Amino acid sequence: MPSITSPSEIQTVITTFETSPGDCEDLLDALRDAYDSFISKQPGFVAAGLHVNDAQTRIANYSQWRSRDDFQAMLRSDEMRSRNRRFNELCRSFEPVMYDVVAAYD
């Protein structure tokens, strides 16, 4: 389970996908498969969550990594490059952005 704490030594990556209602479920399936069979098994992976808006036009992916280097190594792998090409076919755009947690509230 993702855990949001401040301060945190964990690297946070939030990726947003702009998609269409017709492609949303296919993209979610591709993302689930990526996490189930590859991403969650990579060194440094901590946790992740997938979120979809009610119009099925946006997907937000929240992931946590032990380090920036761990995330970047996963992203640069041949496996992930291939998967990213598939994600790109199923959405108008997507962008992973690294963040530092500066505050957390219960």
CATH code for the domain in which residue 84 is found: 3.30.70.100
How many domains, in total, are found in the chain? 1
- How far is the first Cα of the chain from the last one, in angstroms, to the nearest whole number? 16
Q: What is the pLDDT of residue 18?
A: 98
3-state secondary structure of 87: helix
Q: What is the pLDDT of residue 52?
A: 98
Confirm whether 74 is domain-assigned. yes
Q: What is the pLDDT of residue 2?
A: 79
Q: What is the pLDDT of residue 13?
A: 97
Confirm whether 4 is domain-assigned. no
Confirm whether 106 is domain-assigned. no
Q: What is the pLDDT of residue 6?
A: 86
Confirm whether 50 is domain-assigned. yes
Buried b (16+ CB within 10 A) or exposed e, 31-58: beebbeebbeebebbbebebebeeebbe
- Share the mean pLDDT of the chain: 95
Asked if pLDDT for residue 31 goes beyond 90, the answer is yes
**Predicted confidence band at 71 (pLDDT cuts at 50, 70, 90)?**
very high
The arithmetic mean of pLDDT across residues 58-65, rounded, is 97
Prediction pTM value = 0.92
List, edge to edge, every strand of the sheet that includes 58-65. Answer: 45-52, 58-65, 11-18, 93-99
